[in-house]
Structure 1
Amino acid sequence: MNSNETQDMVKETISFPVIYDSKQQTIWDSKGMMVCDIKGWGKIQFMGNQKSGRMLLEKKLPNF
């Protein structure tokens, strides 16, 4: 499956826009289906600027 086919499949499956729930660390589509369960925030603490990494996900993922 190439990149375009993958994108088409995602567009057919997920109802946009998606919403990031920071308390549950999950991403939900507009119909309430969980799209992604994000774990591993602990690893971000070992990066140079952990706040910017988390903020990037919180701001960019819902625009996917």
Structure 2
Amino acid sequence: MLLPYVLAVLSSTHDQAALPIVEGFLHHPHSEVRKEASEAVTELQGIGSRPGTRRRSS
């Protein structure tokens, strides 16, 4: 599934305009997508890891 990778790319932009798009996936039927969306929201909000230190989960 490519969607988790798309969410990771969106989060790496640190562009607040991506936040509403990413938040729309927090209730996705696939747990992997929900998890990546949650991590992306955290990164876009500037909480947690510093830019460039985020690790992709496998």
What TM-score comes out, normalization by structure 2 length? 0.30
Structure with higher helix content: 2
Higher relative contact order (CA 8 A, sep 6+): 2
TM-score, structure 1 as length reference = 0.28
Greater gyration radius: 1
